[in-house]
Structure 1
Amino acid sequence: MTLRAILQARLTERRERGLYRRLKTLEAAPSPGAVLDGRPMVAFSSNDYLGLATHPEVIAAQQEGARLGAGATASHLVNGHFGIHEQLQDALAAATGREAALVFSSGYAANMGAICALIGRGDSIVSDKLNHASLIDGARLSRAESLRFAHSDTGALARQLARAATAGGNTLVAVDGVYSMDGDCAPLAEIAQLCREHDAWLMVDEAHGFGVMGSEALPVAGSAAAAGLGEEEVPVLMGTLGKAAGNAGAFVAGSRELIDYLVQFARTYIYTTGMPPAVAAGALAAVRVMQRKPELRQCLQDNIAHFRRGAAERGLPLCDSASPIQPLLLGCEQTVMSVAAELASRGFLVGAIRPPTVPAGTARLRITLSAAHTAAQIDALLDALGTALTGTLCGEGAAREVSP
């Protein structure tokens, strides 16, 4: 068969299974009001948790940064490093309580580059089964022995760490701090203790934690800081700049030796064109705003609590999540697509998540909240959900109990 014929057959199969993905065309970043294909919508699908993608200070900083050039023109090591990158890295190191930080073009590149630089043949990587695809692919490409454990099951993790110890070499444990599809937090304190006991290194992906949670001393550092863990317990910390920071790119933070090592050996850093200076400037402004305005995080937490109370009152099958990610588990793909379409007809943009992004039988609406949402918008979504879900729940992958 020709390549075209094979591709057509595979695409047809995906359509028939209800798993075909379609691109959405937005006129501008949701604020959270959006215009999708010419229709006004309220977006509950964005990862812009603090509303910084449309913050005037952040946009002004990007515009000023563009004066340095539209792009970095080469990789950071060849010709693409600017003073604004240094300022951003210093700010990220300070915000996360680390000695140094290194910016990457994306979270995918940061995870792939860090993992493949730190471990290889003869080593082991132990991963949560629900890790983000970038951690999974990094583990595969590292050529280390890849061991997985059931989601947030510390007993299973302990067994895999014991298995890794018998194989010799170095062991890296890689987990999400906040899981992107379930919204739950990893039991990081227990994981860090197991890593200490088994002489393993812990890497935490803070894509959905950075900016929205932290400790009193490091309020935006993420879930590791919220769990009371510092650089000694979590020597490899990754975060993204395209979610709570509202921009693009990512970073790895840790010791100066770690960052120097990644500059030497992280292929996704060495062989990629540098972050555009405008993006670096916007991200730096966003970090400064999130540190200067704790009321944004408080507003986000208030919105999360408001949504969960309303969902409980209406008996909606939410997952147990205290993060901005509020999955509504419906089970079957057809139901998810039907409900998402009904919500869209009522002016709400909500992500319909199906396999292979999530396990079979766990299709869901991935509702994400922002500090920019109003209580009236949240109430309107809840009312629309109640109407759309009436008589449609198929019961597969039965939802967990909702709690305010």
Structure 2
Amino acid sequence: MSAKQCYQNFLNKQREQHLLRGIPANIKYDLDFSNNDYLHFSQHPSIIQAAQQALALYGSGSKASRLITHQQSAVLALESLIAKDKHSEKALAFCSGFQANVSVLAAVLDKKILGGAPLVFCDKLNHASLHLGCELAGVKQIRYRHLDMNHLEWQLKKHASTSNIRFIISESVFGMDGDIADLSTLIRLAKDYNALLYIDEAHSTGLFGPNGYGHSTEFPGEIDMIMGTFSKALGCFGAYVACSQTLYSYLLNRCQGLIYTTLMPPVQLATMQAAWELVPTAQKQVQALFELADYLRENLSLEGFDIGNSQTNIVPIRLHDPKQVLNYQQKLSDQGIAVAAIRPPSVMPLESRLRIALSLRHQKKDIDMLFNALKSLQQQG
């Protein structure tokens, strides 16, 4: 059998199971609940202006990798700002959250540097990039049940007698379920069992914490490594890792995803900084956003929809069957409503769902329209 036939067989199987993926149609929807532009910053005039000015002043590219280019002023200013607001010694900017997680974890979990394979304790529902980073490092994850701190502690106790270096890896807000990790307990367990704690704040940055800079800012100096993105609530692109001076220097020397890629263009760095500086100004509106999410959850629950343990502006509607999820998505699309259809491998088998993401663009009347459409589909069976 040829390689081409193997690929085609895979695609055929995906299609049969209603799991085949493709590029969405280019449609302008009346209501869009499918994207991650939570603060609607992608259209913010100040961020657009910053991009235009940077493009005019510096051109379209950074010309070389981070360790070679002399065009450093914009990225250093951004990293200094992030470090200050995240209460960390240093910060590093990355092209994307996926790149950051994969390349940073591959570097810090390096068994050659650590003198042996580390013990890596991971939430079962961590993002694919976190799992891949562990895989690239060649380490076997010790997975604990989602958000189950008792199970994590049991796993830590089970391996307490070994001398291997320990890591705990979790998201703070989980992007597919909209639930929140118990950071205070994760911090305590990391201290009790001498583990390095790595937290992914992709869906937390911009919405949580005293000034909107993520849940981790409620625990200054207590988390070893924090990754966050600019591509969700902040409406642009890129990522950061906040860490100690030692880890910063180590990543500059060992993180291949940083060393061997071109520095982000000035226009991207300008939008990142402009968005970051705007975050505190949006926090009063964020409270209204969460109230809208509560309103939606209350109505969905009363109608018997399975919304899991959502606590944020991300609300899953678990239908379990991927065919039904696609059917709901299409019928909502026909009514001018965009929602995301999430199927394996993005979620576990039998966990297919619609993913509803609320943003500052949405109003109560929009929630009512979505809810009434969902209720009608449920009644149709």
TM-score class, shorter-chain normalisation, is over 0.9
Q: Is residue 108 of structure 2 the alignment partner of residue 113 of structure 1?
A: no
Query: How much is the aligned-residue C-alpha RMSD, in angstroms?
Result: 1.7
- SS of the equivalent of 2:236 reads coil
Q: How does 1:171-320 map to 2 (within 5 A)?
A: 171-215=166-210, 219-225=211-217, 228-231=218-221, 233-320=222-309
**Structure 1 runs (4+) greater than 4 angstroms displaced:** none
Q: Which amino acid aligns with 1:273?
A: T
Q: How does 1:77-226 map to 2 (within 5 A)?
A: 77-79=67-69, 81-121=71-111, 122=116, 123-215=118-210, 219-225=211-217
**TM-score scaled by length of structure 1:** 0.89
Q: Which has the higher mean CA deviation after the structures are superposed, 337-346 or 6-15?
A: 6-15
Q: Displacement, 1:80? A: 6.6
Q: 1:49 aligns with which of 38, 46, 49?
A: 38
- SS of the equivalent of 2:88 reads coil
Q: Displacement, 1:313? A: 4.5
**In structure 2, do the counterparts of structure 1 residues 157 and 80 end up closer, same or farther at CA, with 3 Å as the change threshold?**
farther
**In structure 2, do the counterparts of structure 1 residues 296 and 257 end up closer, same or farther at CA, with 3 Å as the change threshold?**
farther
Return the alpha-carbon distance in structure 2 between the equivalents of residues 294 and 168 of structure 1. Answer: 44
Q: Which has the higher mean CA deviation after the structures are superposed, 123-132 or 17-26?
A: 17-26
Identity across the alignment (%): 33
Return the alpha-carbon distance in structure 1 between the equivalents of residues 29 and 151 of structure 2. Answer: 47
Q: Displacement, 1:315? A: 3.9
Return the alpha-carbon distance in structure 2 between the equivalents of residues 391 and 170 of structure 1. Answer: 55
Q: Is residue 17 of structure 2 the alignment partner of residue 17 of structure 1?
A: yes
Q: How does 1:388-399 map to 2 (within 5 A)?
A: 388-392=377-381
Return the alpha-carbon distance in structure 1 between the equivalents of residues 53 and 290 of structure 2. Answer: 32
Q: For the Cα contact (< 8 Å) 1:103–1:249, is it kept in 2?
A: yes
- SS of the equivalent of 1:166 reads coil
Q: Displacement, 1:103? A: 0.4
- SS of the equivalent of 1:75 reads coil
Q: Deviations over 1:156-180 (max 9, x none)?
A: 2123223444332311111011111
Q: For the Cα contact (< 8 Å) 1:304–1:324, is it kept in 2?
A: yes
Return the alpha-carbon distance in structure 2 between the equivalents of residues 93 and 25 of structure 1. Answer: 39
Q: Which amino acid aligns with 2:371?
A: L
Q: Which amino acid aligns with 1:301?
A: F
Q: Deviations over 1:342-396 (max 9, x none)?
A: 100000110011111111111100000001112221211111111122243xxxx
Q: Deviations over 1:282-329 (max 9, x none)?
A: 111111111233233223223222322332454433222121110011
- SS of the equivalent of 1:239 reads strand
For structure 2, which runs of at least 5 residues remain unmatched after alignment? none
Residue 75 (structure 1) aligns with: 65
For structure 1, which runs of at least 5 residues remain unmatched after alignment? 27-35, 393-404
Return the alpha-carbon distance in structure 2 between the equivalents of residues 305 and 170 of structure 1. Answer: 41
